[in-house]
Amino acid sequence: MAYLLYLLAAVAVPLYLISISVYRLYFHPLSGIPGPKLAAITGWYEAYFELFHKGLGGQYTFHIRELHAKYGPIVRISPREVHIDDPDFYSTIYTNKQALDKPDYLKWRFGAPSALFSTPEHHLHRMRRAAQEPFFAKQRIVNLSPVIQAKADKMCARLHQDFMNRARPVNLDNLFASYVADVTTQYSVDRDFNWLGDPEFESPFVKAIRSLKDIAHPSTQFPWLPRAVAAIPHSIVRVLQPSMSAVLDFQDAMRKLVIDAMDDLKYVQTSKSGKTVIHGILNSNMPQDELDVELLKDHAVSLLGAGVASAQWTLTIACFHVISNPEVYRRLKEELSTAIPDPNVSISLDQGLEKLPYLMACVDEAVRLACGQMTRSPRISRKPIPYSDYVLPPGTHISLDTWHMHHNPVLYPRSFSFEPERWLGDPHAPAPYHTRPLKHYMVSFGKGTRRCIGENLARAEITIALASLFRRFDWELFETTYDDVRVVRDLIAPDVSRESKGVRVLVKEADC
């Protein structure tokens, strides 16, 4: 009997694999879409590039660009997903007009399945977003800007006291992680951890963010993995997988902050209900099951993790490129010196800094190069969607991504160069896209119903920091080259070589 079962399995498994391969290649609704046959047959094609290729993983975004060069603007990149490289089609998929869901398997990418960016269902996402959105409105961030400026002033004071003219390099990755984390924790959960006070600006967020990025692709390819980790006692996970400790510590800290916020409203003062994001969610009209500690912990993880990582990286590459380019450095310094005669007296965000064209051009160019979320974020079509000679059936996973958009050679000539001038004068896009402003094709913060909720906060943090740092100090790179900002893999966010020691600079007294 056992022999017969083994024989049946030996016949049935290959037969099943052959049958599903034939179906996906020749009879599947996407069978007419060009692309590698292996990608059409199995998701292991994507998994190989994301986990193993070149010994690095995180290579599928770059490989997809090669596939477009071979097959054209639409490519089938997995059994049920197509990728489209067409700037004008971006707004069709990432839109305010259609209620499109994200694939469910993506919710476990960062081990925070209830976070806003993780929520697959459009209607649930819309409800959760509505409770947070007022805290990130433009005027709300303008009102917050004195708090952001105070953190920037503290950052500058530390640099002046401990680094200026001392031949002691400062690691910008650490510096900006501490600056953004101090702003974000203050605004999200009403806590000042004073990471800007650390001797080397080494906040725990640097390690936690690195660990979160490292688990992103394994969690995407094997969604059962983070679910299993969540079900295992943390003490056991720490022994079996020590690299997860930073992530678990981060989640524990966020859980504690949520509980503290609950206590604030329950025992201390209800006046805090509109003060921070978490307090606001707790005091909203959300259903009670949306106010669970674990769910709110996921929101806190996303607010701090995503907010810190994107702004930190953008500031780091902005400073590297400005310092590396003498003409850009000169123009920015001259504009800031004219607008801010006394370097110790700051000017307002909305009526001052945001009116400086070259500063804002530097911000835009840094945001473009930073790319925000680098990996594609598919949407599931609810109805047939035509593209070119094809009609994509309902249920198709359709994606575009920031990397391809921001390195489109027509929209952005010399796309890997830092050229703020491309943003001066509110330019239109080059032909054949010239009917729209170039900023229409700036998608670091996404577009549509899932556009990054923290865009206004991130831009304020970046603008205030750049103005403060380049007005008050002069800068020199220290043992740092382009290799320290060269993107070598996609870990959802851009990632540089593990050999890099970070972007390091020497702080000089400004020639005011």
6 pLDDT higher than 70: no
Return the closest-CA partner of residue 220 out of 403, 35, 43: 43
Model confidence at 270: pLDDT above 60: no
pLDDT of residue 194: 92
**Whose CA is closest to 81, among 117, 33, 22?**
33
What pLDDT is recorded for position 368? 97
User: Is the pLDDT confidence value at 271 over 60?
Assistant: no
Task: Say yes or no to pLDDT of 9 above 70.
Answer: no
Residue 35, pLDDT above cutoff 90: yes
Q: 361 pLDDT band (50/70/90 cuts)? A: very high
Q: What is the pLDDT of residue 438?
A: 96
Q: What confidence score (pLDDT) does residue 492 get? A: 87
Mean pLDDT of the chain: 91
Residue 55 has phi, psi (to 5 degrees) of 70, 10
- Is the pLDDT reported for residue 350 higher than 90? yes
CA–CA separation, 179 vs 156, rounded Å? 10
pLDDT of residue 437: 95
CA dist 510 and 341 (Å) reads 13
Give residue-wise pLDDT tens across range 219-251.
999 988 888 888 888 888 888 778 778 788 888
Task: Indicate the pLDDT class of residue 283, thresholds 50, 70 and 90.
Answer: confident
Here the tokens at position 268 are 């201390």
Q: Which of the pair, 353 or 250, is modelled with greater confidence? A: 353
Confidence of residue 209 (pLDDT cuts 50, 70, 90): confident
Q: Please report, to the nearest 10 degrees, the dihedral formed by the alpha carbons of residues 286, 289, 290, 295 taken in order.
A: 160
Give the pLDDT score at 339: 96
Which position has the token pair 């911000």? 363
Residue with tokens 């996303």: 302
Query: How does residue 76 score in pLDDT terms, banded at 50, 70 and 90?
Result: very high
Contact present, 109 and 219 (Cβ < 8 Å): yes
Average pLDDT over residues 343-353: 93
Residue 78, CB-side half-sphere exposure with 13 Å CA sphere: 18
Q: Tens digit of pLDDT for each residue in 473-485?
A: 999 999 999 999 9
pLDDT-derived band at 273 (thresholds 50, 70, 90) equals low
d(CA 340, CA 314): 23
Query: What number is the average pLDDT over the span 150-170?
Result: 96
Dihedrals φ, ψ of 505, to 5°? -135, 160
The fraction of the chain above a pLDDT of 90, given in percent, is: 69
**112 Cβ partners below 8 Å, 6+ apart?**
118, 251, 297, 298, 301, 302, 305
Q: Render pLDDT for 387-401 as a digit per residue (tens, 0 to 9).
A: 999 999 999 999 999
Per-residue pLDDT, 242:
80
- Is the model's pLDDT at 272 over the cut of 60? no
Kindly report the three-state secondary structure assignment for every residue of 439-470.
HHHCCCCCCHHHCCCCHHHHHHHHHHHHHHHH
Burial class (CB in 10 A: 0-12, 13-18, 19+), 297: buried
How sure is the predictor about 189, in pLDDT bands with cuts at 50, 70 and 90? confident
Average pLDDT, integer, range 485-494? 93
Q: Provide the pLDDT for residue 268.
A: 60
Query: Given this model, what pLDDT does residue 418 score?
Result: 98
- Exposure string over 387-426, b if 16+ CB within 10 A, otherwise e: beebebeeebbbbbbbbbbbebeebbeebeebbbebbeee
Q: Name the residue type at position 244.
A: M
Q: What is the mean pLDDT of residues 325-340?
A: 97
Q: How confident is the model at residue 38 (pLDDT cuts 50, 70, 90)?
A: very high
- 512 assigned to a ligand binding site: no
What's the distance, Cα to Cα, between the start and end of the chain in Å?
A: 90
Q: Find where tokens 């990996």 sit.
A: 375
What pLDDT score was predicted for residue 446?
92
Which pair of structure tokens corresponds to residue 319?
A: 């400073």
The yes-or-no verdict on residue 101 having pLDDT over 80 is yes
pLDDT at position 417 over 60: yes
